[in-house]
Structure 1
Amino acid sequence: MVDSGGRRGHAGKIVLIVVACVLVVAVAIGGIAAKYHHDQEQWMRSVAYSKEADKIFRKTLKKMDPKAFTPQGVIRSYTIDERKITHNPMGGIDVTAYVNNDQSLYVFFTLERNGGTGPLEDGGGGNSAKLEKMLDKAYPHLHQGSGGEAD
């Protein structure tokens, strides 16, 4: 007589090995994906805090406020919100900065490289309605109803 229990035990071991292999591969892929995501976040932070990005931020803020970064300006400083440095689905990096350490006064930028290798550029953005109102009041000849983002 043939013992069929031995075959079931052998088949069970094969299934267990296959499941274990699938789990190992899944964990490895998950680890690689997590590492890629972490590396991408680190790279975006390094771009957002670079001298090249600082030049863009300051140039844009000085266009909004000709007296920016002086005691007479509406905009005296900016701080990048590290939690709001994200990948833009259309390409580039979205960065939110707070003016004068006030979260209700914000400006957002999209940093991008022309062709992926050129110099860093400001791909557009916007600012809070509260900041826009302050700029309209300080510089009515520059900001005639240009409007900001709704708060």
Structure 2
Amino acid sequence: MKTIVKILVGILIAIAIGIGGFKLMQKIEHDQMVEIVKSEEAQEVFGRTIKNLDSLGLTESGVIKSYEVDFSSIQKNPMGGISVKIIVNDTDSLYIQNILYKDEQNRLRNSSGSPSIELRKRLETQQ
């Protein structure tokens, strides 16, 4: 009977260590993605994305006057890269959904910059 209990305790400890290790790896991966999104290179990519959507972006006469990265939205994209949401003008309904990836030369790129419906409408009325 004691050997069965010891075996069960050993199995439970092994499972707990496995789950803890998996969670630790997820945390490390998320922290690495946050560092990439915080990088100067990522900020340049976000600036180019905004300029592509709004040629007057990040100026007083543009629709997009400011932006902020929603760090809680950062996640690994199933197709590769990092999905991140950029909130525009401190308004949650105005955002750009981005997917960052590294190209063949190991430079950070944006594979998509999809604005929210409300932001798209505002950009269309500006033109």
Whether TM-score is above 0.5 comes out as yes
Residue correspondence of structure 1 range 58-137 to structure 2 within 5 A: 58-115=47-104, 118-137=106-125
Name which one, 1 or 2, has greater alpha-carbon Rg. 1
Whole-angstrom distance in 2 between the partners of 1:91 and 1:124: 12
Q: In structure 2, what is the equivalent of residue 5 of structure 1?
A: none
**Contact conserved, 2:49 with 2:113, CA < 8 A, in 1?**
no
Q: In structure 1, what is the equivalent of residue 16 of structure 2?
A: 27
Quote the RMSD (CA, aligned, Å). Answer: 1.1
Q: Pick the aligned partner of 1:54 from 23, 43, 60.
A: 43
Greater than 6 Å deviation, 4+ residue runs: none
**Contact conserved, 2:87 with 2:94, CA < 8 A, in 1?**
yes
Q: Is 1:44 aligned with 2:33?
A: yes
- Supply the AA of the counterpart residue of 2:14: V
**Contact conserved, 2:56 with 2:63, CA < 8 A, in 1?**
yes
Give the alignment's TM-score, normalised by structure 2: 0.96
Query: Could you tell me how far 1:114 is from its partner in structure 2?
Result: 2.2
Question: Alignment identity in percent?
Answer: 30
Give the alignment's TM-score, normalised by structure 1: 0.81
Gaps of 5+ in 1: 1-11, 140-151
Query: Could you tell me how far 1:83 is from its partner in structure 2?
Result: 1.2
Query: Could you tell me how far 1:55 is from its partner in structure 2?
Result: 0.4
Whole-angstrom distance in 2 between the partners of 1:90 and 1:71: 36
Gaps of 5+ in 2: none
Structure with higher RCO (Cα < 8 A, 6+ apart): 2
**Contact conserved, 2:93 with 2:118, CA < 8 A, in 1?**
yes
Bigger fraction of residues in strand: 2
Query: Could you tell me how far 1:124 is from its partner in structure 2?
Result: 1.1
